[in-house]
Amino acid sequence: MTLKSDPGNFFEDFVVGDELIHATPRTVTEADAALYTGLTGSRYALYSADTFAQDIGLGGAPIDPLLAFHVVFGKTVPDISLNAVANLGYADGRFLAPVYPGDTLRAVSEVIGVKENSNGKTGVVYVRTHGYNQEDEEVLSYVRWVMVNKKDHAKPAPATVVPQLPQAVDPRELPKRAYNLPEYNFVLAGSPFGFEDYEIGEKIDHVDAFTVEEAEHQIATRLYQNTAKVHFNQHAQSQTPRGRRLIYGGVAISLARSIAFNGLANAAEIIAINAGTHVNPLFAGDTVFAWSEVLDKADLGDGLGALRLRLVATKNLPCGEFPHKDAEGKHLPDVILDFDYWAAIPNRG
């Protein structure tokens, strides 16, 4: 029997410096945007209405940056995380150009680090991924690290390489946006609060919540063409200590961002990812809550600012008391996401 199916890469297959050109370019459509809204409940006006986007100088409503991120991420899964135990974190991400319906996205990754775990059965792989449109314009880039199974437990560990990553994207390096902000309509956006109304250290309980349904998670993860076994193969997952399929971490990010609309409606556009950690697993039936903290502010000029935000999502735990870490600095067991990002926001003045 000839073997034509691809079992995916295991930890010992990754070599620092390797370039991975990922298959299946994906044309993002208005239908994708509508389905994304149906699966996440996102309400940001910039991504909901062509007229709103046109009033501030765009040709129409762009694709939500997180939808573009998930599509690019999905391209990488067969090569990077098909045999993953879990996706662990993100850093040094930039959303370099808007993505519009009709754009075709493709992805290329470079292996920038490997570190075998002490159990000898798994290891952590670090990659930097670049997403390009049909004009070969880079639209986003990010670093992520993922725990991947070894196929041959007896194989010697490779030399450890852990990349040095910045704690945050420098405000001076944030991607620029050119908007006609005098025409920005705060009423239609859903909130009167602009850049100057937020203070460093301020915390916002976003109040709302979403219960994760199994079918919705499956549809969302398929929408991004994410094929990771931990999300789909219940037969295999029933034999693990968890016993259940994991909810794709991107679903947690998108749901938390959707919930964050209530309190941050004008901070619609993610322009950079500083850091992100999937702290604890999320399963179908769990209810997601979220809160945010303003970590920093930056004036981008021309009436536009940026907020550095920590977005914390929990499962089955309302966020009125801003749950985060314990006295020893460890994340609480009900925290599922700790996501540090920059968002563009207009100045009300």
Is residue 323's pLDDT more than 90? yes
pLDDT digits (tens, 9 = 90+) for 103-138: 999 999 999 999 999 999 999 999 999 999 999 999
- Domain span at residue 311 reads 192-212+247-349
Which residue bears the tokens 């540090």?
340
Give the CATH number for residue 305: 3.10.129.10
The per-residue pLDDT for 185 is 97
Which amino acid type is present at position 284? Answer: A
- What the block records as the tokens of 251 is 């679903």
Reported confidence tier of residue 2, pLDDT bands at 50, 70, 90:
low
- Residue 201 shares a structural domain with residue 269: yes
- Give percent of the chain with pLDDT exceeding 70: 99
Reported confidence tier of residue 277, pLDDT bands at 50, 70, 90:
very high
What integer is the mean pLDDT of 60-81? Answer: 96
pLDDT digits (tens, 9 = 90+) for 144-201: 999 999 998 988 888 999 999 999 999 999 998 989 999 999 999 999 999 999 999 9
pLDDT digits (tens, 9 = 90+) for 4-58: 888 889 999 999 999 999 999 999 999 999 999 999 999 999 999 999 999 999 9
In angstroms, the Cα distances linking 182 to 53, 96, 152, 196, 283 are 13, 23, 61, 15, 44
Is 180 contained in some domain?
A: no
Is 319 contained in some domain?
A: yes
- Give percent of the chain with pLDDT exceeding 90: 87
The per-residue pLDDT for 219 is 95
Read off the DSSP letter of residue 113: E
Cα Rg, the chain, nearest whole Å:
20
Strands (E), the chain: 19-21, 26-27, 84-95, 104-116, 122-132, 138-149, 203-205, 210-211, 269-278, 287-301, 304-315, 335-346
Is 344 contained in some domain?
A: yes
- Residue 97 shares a structural domain with residue 202: no
- Of 2-11, 216-225, 246-255, the range with the lowest mean pLDDT is 2-11
The strand pair at 84-95 and 210-211 is best described as unpaired
* Residue 229 to residue 37: CA distance in whole angstroms: 25
Is 219 contained in some domain?
A: no
Is 296 contained in some domain?
A: yes
- Residue 37 shares a structural domain with residue 144: yes
Is residue 84's pLDDT more than 80? yes
- What the block records as the tokens of 249 is 């971490």
- Residue 145 shares a structural domain with residue 86: yes
Is residue 1's pLDDT more than 60? no
- Residue 22 shares a structural domain with residue 140: yes
- Residue 98 shares a structural domain with residue 201: no
Count of domains forming the chain: 2
CB-CB neighbours of 64 under 10 Å: 26
The per-residue pLDDT for 240 is 87
pLDDT digits (tens, 9 = 90+) for 199-222: 999 999 999 999 999 999 999 999
